[in-house]
Amino acid sequence: RIVDAGADSDDERVVEAALRPKRLSEFPGQTRVRDQLSLVLEAARRRGSVPDHILLSGPPGLGKTTLALIVAAELERPIRITSGPAIQHAGDLAAVLSSLDEGEVLFLDEIHRMSRSAEEMLYLAMEDFRVDVIVGKGPGATAIPLELPPFTVVGATTRSGLLPAPLRDRFGFTGHLDYYDASDLTTILRRSAGLLGVDADESGISEIAGRSRGTPRIANRLLRRVRDWAQVHGSGHVDLEAAHQALRLFDVDDAGLDRLDRAVLDALCRRFGGGPVGLSTLAIAVGEESDTVETVAEPYLVREGFMVRTPRGRAAAPKAWAHLGLTPPRDLAT
Ligand code: ADP
């Protein structure tokens, strides 16, 4: 492969960091979550105490990490960043917790992927600002309580349903991030174009906004690809023509669906007669992990009315058949 995926994603992380809004007032969209968060932070500030623990849920790329960084910036406190998969043992978590400073923000990304033992330690730490460090093994093992300074956990998850209730209950505030509408994405893209020094007109920006699956990360990524196209084949100017050509090249269709979205709909309609079909069978048919199909493709397809979830599995909606140019079986069409 000419482009190494690892290096590419490192580059992407650098660009993403540059494009993140730094303050709540600069964060377009998600007005409800933003207003709620602003209240929680302001109240804590006036009380002179740390805010309640905050849980952010929603599909990837909608701004959970960005908001966690903003929480720390608004509180003017440092932030420690780690993730569920990095915490496989309670000891890993104990090491992080015991080194936190007072008022520090602990960002736990993919919190639903933490080990059970770490989860239990986290409940106690969130509730009582205490961890029990186990010394020794077997019958002689003793738990030594360690007091922690007050801190705020900001947890992020794409699957809030997977969080055990006791952990979910420890969060005083949960913000659900939803897909962005085209006008918010337009604002985000204008801002990104400015920061990246990309010369873009309104028609180009609004075309990209309408085909970004409601997701800022995708919008920013498409903007960079359209800029590439404009620099190589066009005048360097991001306009409607450049947007059309680049989006075609990168397999983004008129509805903003990408290759995985279309593969899922295609499998549902052509291989499974419209379904219903179980998630794991569907995932195998498109050669992806169930988790990817469920957290990345499905929420958008369901929200846009291409797919429905039924108790017996996933099914294609009439819009999916129409989008693929197929005729649904007669019992579905009636
Ligand atoms: P998540 O943690 O939910 O996967 P991130 O916070 O990492 O998403 O956001 C991904 C990218 O999208 C970042 O580069 C960020 O700058 C951008 N982004 C997300 N939300 C917004 C927003 N409301 N305004 C501007 N950019 C955003």
pLDDT beneath 70: ranges in the chain: 1-9, 331-334
φ and ψ of 279, to 5 deg: -60, -45
Structure confidence by residue, pLDDT tens digits, 128-158:
999 988 788 888 888 888 999 999 999 999 9
Which DSSP category does 30 fall into? -
Three-class SS state of 147: strand
Cα-based angle 127, 130, 135 (whole degrees, multiple of 5): 140
Question: Whole-angstrom Cα distance, residue 122 to residue 92?
Answer: 11
Instruction: Enter the pTM of the model.
Output: 0.89
| 101 in a known ligand binding site | no
| 34 in a known ligand binding site | no
Pair 68, 156: CB distance under 8 Å: yes
Looking at this protein, which amino acid is placed at residue 169?
Answer: D
Q: Which atom of ligand 1 is nearest to the CA of 109?
A: 2
Ligand 1 centre distance from Cα of residue 90 (Å)? 30
Closest CA to 293 of 273, 330, 268, 275: 268
Q: Which atom of ligand 1 is nearest to the CA of 17?
A: 14
- Residues carrying an active site annotation: 64-65, 109, 158, 217
| 102 in a known ligand binding site | no
The reported pLDDT for the residue numbered 9 is 67
* DSSP of 43-71: HHHHHTSPPPPEEEE-STTSSHHHHHHHH
CB atoms inside a 10 Å sphere around CB 139: 5
Ligand 1 centre distance from Cα of residue 145 (Å)? 38
C-beta 158 within 6 A of ligand 1: no
Q: Which atom of ligand 1 is nearest to the CA of 59?
A: 3
The reported pLDDT for the residue numbered 1 is 27
Question: Whole-angstrom Cα distance, residue 273 to residue 212?
Answer: 28
Ligand 1 centre distance from Cα of residue 17 (Å)? 9
The reported pLDDT for the residue numbered 332 is 55
What secondary structure, in 3-state letters, does 171-208 show?
Answer: CCEEEECCCCCHHHHHHHHHHHHHHHCCCECHHHHHHH
Bridge partners of residue 238, in order along the sequence: 200
| 129 in a known ligand binding site | yes
- Going by alpha carbons, the residue nearest to atom 5 of ligand 1 is 63
The reported pLDDT for the residue numbered 18 is 85
Q: From the centroid of its chain, how far is CA 261? A: 17
| 128 in a known ligand binding site | yes
Which DSSP category does 110 fall into? T
Three-class SS state of 149: coil
Ligand 1 centre distance from Cα of residue 274 (Å)? 34
276 prior amide bond cis, ω within 30: yes
Ligand 1 centre distance from Cα of residue 22 (Å)? 11
User: Best substitution site from 16, 20, 158 to test ligand 1's pocket, by max atoms within 8 Å of Cβ?
Assistant: 20
Query: Between β-strands 130-135 and 173-176, what pairing exists: parallel, antiparallel or unpaired?
Result: unpaired
Structure confidence by residue, pLDDT tens digits, 256-310:
899 999 999 999 999 999 989 999 999 999 999 998 899 889 999 999 999 999 9
User: Best substitution site from 217, 220, 223 to test ligand 1's pocket, by max atoms within 8 Å of Cβ?
Assistant: 217
The reported pLDDT for the residue numbered 331 is 64
Question: Whole-angstrom Cα distance, residue 152 to residue 48?
Answer: 13
C-beta 24 within 6 A of ligand 1: no
Q: Which atom of ligand 1 is nearest to the CA of 67?
A: 6
Pair 130, 148: CB distance under 8 Å: yes
